[in-house]
A and B are shown apart, each in its own frame.
Chain A
Amino acid sequence: MTYSYIAGAHTYQFADLKTVMAKATPARSGDFLAGVAAETYAERMAARMCLAQVPLKRFLEELMIPYETDEVTRLIIDTHDKQAFTEISHLTVGDFRDWLLSDIADTATLKRVAKGITPEMAAAVSKLMRNQDLILVAKKCTVITTFRNTIGLPGHISVRLQPNHPTDDTRGIAASMLDGLLYGAGDAVIGINPATDSLPALMELYYLIDDVINQYNIPTQSCILTHVTNQIQLIERGAPVDLVFQSIAGSEKANKSFGIDIALLKEAQSAALSLNRGTVKNELGESNVMYFETGQGSALSANANFGVDQQTCEARAYAVARHLSPLLTNTVVGFIGPEYLYDGKQIIRAGLEDHFCGKLLGVPLGCDVCYTNHAEADQDDMDTLMTLLATAGLTFIMGIPGADDIMLNYQTTSFHDALYLRKVLGLRAAPEFERWLKAMNIMDAHGQVQPISHVHHMLQNMPKHLLNAA
């Protein structure tokens, strides 16, 4: 199959499907860095015109990363649900956009076809969609997961409490944790990015969060964001592990650069499930025990993108996630730096694309709405993106004291930001967690945070790591 589009006197030719995809992608620095981006505005539109005519079936025939050498491609093809696909198999990419926006594609329909959609199909159609399209369709997709509470119900947004400290000081972490809880944050997960790789030190962090969860009887879950092999070892040593974390990417080679493959993730999932620590069961009678992080540009930075644009690589990571039924998947959208997403405009677009693709594929997507200090972005851009994503039904955002992560040196969203979204858009915390917030007098009957007095139960009975401070 050849790909071309005639615009006036000029015929635009594209060598293959991945070239059409890359050149159809809204402009971003990472695709220029990779040398796959459109060279002119007109070429970009010609590629989109061409892409609109490609049948969805074509994505099952022309594989962008070879089946023989890439286990992510094999996963996508081997688990493709042909039954689910029949409903949309006659469509081109352009038709698919129209179908998704139509009222035929309601929540139940989108759920039914999700396993018939490959990441490449989702990425392709996103390239023809405007930001409002990405928001509208994502909002129709519902992905509900459970562990000690229920995440992803319509009208809800959850928060990952991220109490990081540059030297893993347990009192510093406990202080940030308490701060977040008293601001109503932490229903998605309480998750620490540790500075250390040492297993005994990591064990201590697991007990730090677990003690706080038990002390206040909080319906939430913990996670330590260290390498998956460390977490498996710690499970074997008896650590109280709720969720298993891992960064994942969209090609076998990129995953190898993270020191993982799909079999290792499966092993970790089994280990976490064997602990049976989740109390709320999903429709399959299980809890969701995995927490993944992703981000556009990770494949290229591992030199493992194979000429595929960074957004399509990212969508392929969601196939890996989907296979492991995570509680949460987090696109850390602006962390990677301006060589991949240059400014606020590119970060905002990427966040909306990632959320759309994830939800369409049936993955519980949250977003670390963030930027680094060498990107052309600021907190106003974060306000815009978080408001758009929350409107689109985002599963969760990050909650960090004052949006300033003093361990990872980047800016993200704060506990205050989550309260803003809940107030402006009428969104609520996970129901089990909301009941706890009300029981603890952190939230009033109307769902607003209350002033906390110095005699509040949690200040009178501080976590043991903070007792000396009281």
Chain B
Amino acid sequence: MTVKQDNITNIDAFNIDPWQQLKSFTRARIAIGRVGSSLPTSEVLDFGLAHAMARDAVHLALDVSALEADIKTQQFTTIQAKSMAPDRASYLLRPDWGRRLHEQSLMRLQNVSQTKPIDFLIVIGDGLSSLAVSRHVVPLLAEMRNHLPSDWHTGPVVIASQARVAIGDEIGQALNAKMVAMLIGERPGLSSPDSLGIYLTYQPKLGLSDADRNCISNVRPEGLQYDAAAKKLMWLAKESMRLKVSGVALKDESDMPEIAQQTSLE
């Protein structure tokens, strides 16, 4: 095949899609253009950067002491815990280890002296994105404070490393909590490396399943805002306490239309 010189330098070789205005309706990578039928350089690089940030988010270790210091400014006490997964590589390969407490952590939690029973336990887990935790947990806690019933005892905030969602059950059981809210880094998406998820479980104990939890996902400024997430969580928590259930038996009727509207503007 002969390629003429003017074909190489011709700027028409880059086809700009004339439906750019549709980008305002979605964050999907539409109207990105093409060179021949392939991706333009700029898009390959943008995608590569987004993937790199998501990969880093998975592997970045949570700075627990910095988080503890920040949480204490919100008038919460803290306690650390570790899962059975000794490191990130085994955490990724053995989800079952991430769901269980390391023996020493279990003993430590069981030995926490309690003056009165915990109504609402907050557990923070690094999950698959420590970035989500380090960015969003403290402002979310501040909002939660505003909605927390004054007669509820919260106990210490537990910070769990190499944690999956279900470790909240064992932690809640060890501390005899009536309810546990697990704040955990979600699996990073290409355009959302720092999404925080919240899982609420009534009467946490080993062996519960996802059907026993209520989930609030995509908590971050570009997704579900802190105040809306806190309001939703505390609505669910109060209903859960009243009805003594969580999960599929607890239907979220808080303020769905309002929240759906907010997230669609991201």
Contact = CB atoms under 8 A, between A and B. Distances in A.
A339 B260 contact: no
B247 interface: no
B93 interface: yes
A438 to B, nearest CB: 16
Contacts of B193: 373
B128 A404 contact: no
Contacts of B47: 379, 402-404
A172 B23 CA distance: 8
A374 B92 contact: yes
Interface string A437-470: 0000000000011011110100100000010011
Contacts of B260: 167
A448 B93 CA distance: 43
B229 to A, nearest CB: 15
Interface string B251-264: 00000000010011
A225 B27 CA distance: 21
B66 interface: no
Nearest to B35: A416
A interface majority secondary structure: mixed
B191 interface: yes
Contact of B190 (A32, A373, A449): A373
Contacts of B190: 373, 404, 406, 409, 411
A169 B262 CA distance: 12
B22 A169 contact: no
Contacts of B147: none
Given A401-B29, A401-B32, A404-B191, A469 B93 contact: no
Contacts of B12: 451
B187 A372 contact: yes
A449 B35 CA distance: 11
Given A420-B37, A451-B15, A404 B29 contact: yes
B24 interface: yes
B26 A165 contact: yes
Interface string B192-203: 110100000000
Given A33-B93, A373-B54, A414-B39, A402 B187 contact: no
Contact of B51 (A339, A378, A452): A378
B18 A401 contact: no
Nearest to B263: A167
Contact of A409 (B19, B95, B188): B188
Find the residue from B25, B48, B50, B51 having the highest chain A CB count within 10 A. B25
A171 interface: yes
Contacts of B57: 373
B93 A339 contact: yes
> Which size bracket describes the interface of A in this complex?
35 or more
A266 interface: no
B107 to A, nearest CB: 27
B263 A373 contact: no
Interface in B24-70: 24-32, 34, 36-39, 43, 47-48, 50-51, 54-55, 57-58
A307 interface: no
B17 A452 contact: yes
B130 interface: no
Interface in A387-422: 400-404, 406, 409-411, 414, 416, 419-420, 422
Nearest to B262: A167
A260 B243 CA distance: 30
Contact of A166 (B21, B25, B263): B263
A239 interface: no
Contact of A338 (B32, B92, B192): B92
Given A179-B31, A337-B187, A339-B92, 16 more contacts: A169-B25, A178-B19, A178-B22, A339-B93, A373-B51, A373-B187, A373-B188, A373-B193, A378-B51, A402-B29, A403-B47, A406-B189, A409-B195, A411-B51, A416-B37, A423-B36
23 contacts: A166-B263, A167-B263, A169-B25, A172-B28, A172-B264, A176-B26, A176-B28, A179-B22, A182-B17, A338-B93, A373-B55, A373-B57, A373-B193, A379-B47, A404-B50, A406-B26, A414-B39, A416-B37, A422-B37, A423-B37, A452-B18, A452-B19, A469-B25
Q: Which 9 residue pairs of A and B lie closest in terms of their CB atoms, listed nearest first? A: A402-B29, A409-B189, A172-B26, A419-B37, A175-B22, A179-B30, A454-B18, A373-B54, A171-B25
Interface of B: 12, 15, 17-19, 21-32, 34, 36-39, 43, 47-48, 50-51, 54-55, 57-58, 92-96, 128, 186-193, 195, 218, 260, 263-264, 266
